Structure 1
Amino acid sequence: MKTRSLLLAAAVMAALAGPASAQKVLKVGVGLSEDHPQGIAVKKFAELLSQKTGGKLTAKLYASGSLGNDVTMISSLRGGTQEMTVPDSSTLVSLVKDFGVINLPMVIQNEKEADALLDGPFGQKLLDKLPEKGLVGLGFWENGFRHVSNSRKPITKADDFAGLKIRVIQNPLFIDTFNTLGANAVPMPFTELYSAMEQKAVDGQENPLATILASKFYEVQKHTVLDKHIYSAWVLLLSKKTWDGFTPEEKKAVQEAGREATLFERKTIRAFSEQALAELKKQGMQVTELPAAEQARMKEKLQPVVAKFSKEFGEDTAKSMFAELEKVRGQK
């Protein structure tokens, strides 16, 4: 009787444990808040993944850097202790230097070019380099074109950057870009930026409009110029250790959900950026748009930077990107 009771209890426990253990929950860490388009798109990915696998696979968002920064989360993916993250493509340069070409200044001109480049053979070739580094890339998400804000003066021409102390990310390409424009590039962590601008330790910074608004930089900055100096992309990443544990059907579902979430994210962030522009103006920011002639002047000034870093990131990769962009422009 006792044995029968134990067997019955074990069977009940197994039945209860079965569905829970069958469901895999993928931890997805991001640096931005859960209500930012990045976080919203991760939730969309989770919803799509659950639908496509009948609930066997789902994803859980960990926002605002709660699992670490881009660098530490990528390391966690490679080690198999975290399943997914969506870092800036520039963060991957230390593993695959070719990813750096995406950030070459004044090269990608608009969203249509970015989509065609990153969704095409060129983008796939970059993603194909990740598995040997312990990562699987499911697609490129948009962070957006980066613009400059400052507290001192409106920027209406390429020469107006001269003398401004501009905070940049701690990356040689970004430092060289602004020093070449005549500004004084000041690399510092993003977490220190608001107070540095408030205390006038720096005059300004460069980021997409969504980040400028979400970070309330309008409280300490008066001017923004839409100069589109660098295009910034995120990469939807999965741990290869996690990927290798999926069945063929699960892999297909993950890829499909990733693709659909990518399209959703781009649509969402572009709408958000338009709203951000209107909101920044409403908050009192003076927004100027760099005229085409000054964009061309800026591009000309930055040619030495493009040449230097094309060599550093891989001349063949850079040439391949330029050729692909020319092809896209020829299709207009």
Structure 2
Amino acid sequence: MSIARRRFAVTFATAAAAVALFSALPIDGAFAQSAKYRLRYGTAFPADHPAVLRITEAAEAIKAETNGQVDIQVFPNSQMGSEPEMFSQVRSGALDFMSTSGVNQTVVPVASINAVAFAFADYTQVWAAMDGDLGAHVRAAFDKAGLHAFEKMLDNGYRNITTSGKPVNSPDDLKGLKIRVPGNPLWVSVFKDLGAAPTPIQFGELYASLQTRVVDGQENPMALIQSAKLYEVQKYIALTGHIWDGHYIFMGNKKWTTLPADVQASISKNFAAAAEKERADVAKLNEAAIGAMKTAGLTITTPDKKPFRDALKSAGFYEEVKAKYGDAVWTILEKYSGPL
């Protein structure tokens, strides 16, 4: 086991142990058999990612609060299928909950508004927007599409670029770079306009794709770079912070409306608390991850963001996405981000 991997294991040992201990508490046999609502939550996050640990913790709290009526089983690491497959399952009712930032945009296009490149300077802007009017606007769009999005988003972090061949310190370094991106149009547009060759690949296939050089690089938040051990097959990290990425937690409206009001209240409350805790976890992990990546032998650079933003502006990126989203939601975005 590498030094970086040992450090990561230590980072989450306490949280994982707490979840395991809570899950292992003795439960009365009748209580265990009394679950009226058996629900499944799918995610592509690895099992030791803070989002999985905190949602698992929330599931136990919901079970306790509802006297065992609600049993939510959490399936990490794409166990329930790829993100597109899980999304289809949620829409059909075959899967109850999932969290994602990408595939929902095919049905709820405005769900990608938070990922407009270089829109949010820091987390103060992010949470003001997503816990405020911008988030409310997006959740209303989810509802119109037949999906119930929960109030608080999970933090997937600011996305940074990793590469195997050379560091990315300017837009010129992206020219022709075959870079993995999630399978949604906004990410593809960003990297096309920056001159790269964006290649959509499912997250579960990413490690192998980097290892076999199907792609030369990828972009993800530090917490995910570490938890998925992508640092093992990359040499450079550029802290571009080009997109802030959050995961909506959602459920099909039809399934949601079958749940009693007290069950809905318990799930909503505990999912919101889990999201708040996960945000704090990710903030701490991101700080620690930079040191761990250096220890693992990666070269880390902090490029100036202005040339990237200027390149996108020159390519017409902001005009194009503004036209796509519409003036109304763009005005809400700029309320928090400032003029784009």
TM-score (norm 2): 0.83
Check if 1:137 corresponds to 2:143.
no
In structure 1, which of residues 77, 93, 108 is the aligned counterpart of residue 105 of structure 2?
A: 93
Letter in 2 for 1:159: D
Check if 1:77 corresponds to 2:97.
no
Structure 1 residues 110-125: aligned runs within 5 Å:
110-125=122-137
Partner in structure 1 of residue 265 of structure 2: 252
Letter in 1 for 2:144: E
Letter in 2 for 1:76: Q
CA drift at 1:18: 9.3
Gaps of 5+ in 2: 1-28
Partner in structure 2 of residue 312 of structure 1: 324
Letter in 2 for 1:103: A
Partner in structure 1 of residue 11 of structure 2: none
DSSP 3-state at the match of 2:234: coil
CA drift at 1:198: 3.0
Maintained 8 Å contact 2:236/2:298: yes
DSSP 3-state at the match of 1:173: helix
Partner in structure 2 of residue 64 of structure 1: 77
CA distance in 2, matches of 1:117, 1:166: 29
CA distance in 1, matches of 2:249, 2:115: 17
CA distance in 2, matches of 1:19, 1:193: 38
CA distance in 1, matches of 2:81, 2:307: 39
CA distance in 1, matches of 2:90, 2:104: 13
Maintained 8 Å contact 2:161/2:217: yes
Maintained 8 Å contact 1:78/1:133: no
CA distance in 1, matches of 2:295, 2:97: 37
* Post-superposition CA distance 1:9-65 (Å, at most 9, x none): xxxxxxx98983553232111112221112112112212312432332231111111
CA drift at 1:243: 1.6
After TM superposition, the structure 1 stretch with the greater mean CA deviation from structure 2, 317-326 or 25-34, is 317-326
Partner in structure 2 of residue 13 of structure 1: none
CA distance in 2, matches of 1:250, 1:98: 29
CA drift at 1:132: 3.2
Partner in structure 1 of residue 24 of structure 2: none
In structure 2, which of residues 305, 312, 315 is the aligned counterpart of residue 302 of structure 1?
A: 312
In structure 2, which of residues 289, 307, 323 is the aligned counterpart of residue 276 of structure 1?
A: 289
Please give the root-mean-square deviation of Cα atoms over the aligned residues, in Å: 2.3
CA drift at 1:270: 1.8
Percent of aligned pairs sharing the same letter: 26
Q: How many residues align?
A: 308
DSSP 3-state at the match of 1:65: coil
Q: 1:133 to 1:44 in 2, by over 3 A?
A: same
Letter in 2 for 1:65: S
Partner in structure 2 of residue 214 of structure 1: 227
Partner in structure 2 of residue 3 of structure 1: none
CA distance in 2, matches of 1:311, 1:96: 16
Structure 1 residues 154-303: aligned runs within 5 Å:
154-290=167-303, 294-303=304-313
Maintained 8 Å contact 2:77/2:204: no
CA distance in 2, matches of 1:96, 1:200: 33
TM-score (norm 1): 0.85
Partner in structure 1 of residue 140 of structure 2: 128
CA distance in 1, matches of 2:217, 2:257: 45
CA distance in 2, matches of 1:172, 1:250: 36
